[in-house]
Structure 1
Amino acid sequence: MTYARLKKLIERGAYEKEDMLNKLDVFLMANRITEEQYQELVGMMG
């Protein structure tokens, strides 16, 4: 669920990069997303 929502936000460009990176770090540490999902989402941001 978290992954899908984050992916939609990133695809729409509805984020600030530094803020989104911080959120992704927190979600990764809290085991809300996997390492693979984290890498994919960071890669999508360029």
Structure 2
Amino acid sequence: MPMPIVESIKRFLQSPNGRKATEHGKRLAADPRNRERAKSLFARKRP
């Protein structure tokens, strides 16, 4: 039986590559310029 998607994600996040990706995402999210870009992107996508 195939592994459910949530279990696959959990296993990835606990792996060394998953932890590395999480830390990279946190660094990007901490940058004020990236936050502003994300805000404007989501503002355009909302109806």
Structure scoring higher RCO (CA < 8 A, sep ≥ 6) equals: 1
- Which has the greater radius of gyration? 2
Q: TM-score, normalised by structure 1?
A: 0.37
TM-score (norm 2): 0.37
